[in-house]
Amino acid sequence: MYQTLLADSSLYVFLFQLDEDIAADCRRGGCPCSGSLHSAKYPRKPRGLPPGLEDKFESRFSFCCAREGCRRRITPPSFRFLGRKVFVAAVVVLVSALRHGATPKRVAMLRELTGASRRTIERWREWWQDGFVRSPFWKAVRGRLKKPVDRNALPLSLLNAFSGEGEKTGLISLLRLLLPLSTPMQPF
């Protein structure tokens, strides 16, 4: 079901376009000190992408204030990156969701598609089951969801909460919910 999204190049291109729009809005807003913002992208070496998309994921949008004495860095939220994780956000969500009820054959297929090792996938599952559910972010947003979410089946139950919108749109809605976790300010 969701595994077709892992190889869907158009999904990743769309996530890049969403990030471009967020970055443009952030730059137009300027620095809180009223200074203008200059590009100060972070280089990234993301994993899990379909071939040929590396150029759209090789850097993370970020800005630095041009005003002398301020130089504040502002990094907008991202649909492509989930905190400092090496794998792209869509891969972390989808592979973790597909991990539920996984057979050794499915884990091997996920590894082949994304390059994520069994240990990495297990670490993601542990984060969803423990770190995520104990985070202030989850405590703040769980009551705002329209459908109940099974804590023991995260992130699959979150994907299913948005499933009425279609697989791709549901994933994008979930990534939109997770945007605050993509910024450096959030403990991850």
CA dist 153 → 31, 158, 184 (Å): 40, 8, 26
Position 139, amino acid? K
| pLDDT tens-digit profile, the chain (188 residues) | 678 888 899 999 999 999 999 999 999 999 999 999 999 998 999 999 998 999 999 999 999 999 999 989 999 999 999 988 889 999 999 998 887 766 778 778 888 888 988 888 888 989 999 999 999 999 999 988 888 899 888 999 999 888 777 889 999 999 999 999 998 653 33
Neighbours of 54 (CB within 10 A): 12
Closest by Cα among 165, 167, 162, 168 to 13? 168
Positions of E strands within 11-139: 37-39, 42-43, 59-60, 63-65, 73-74
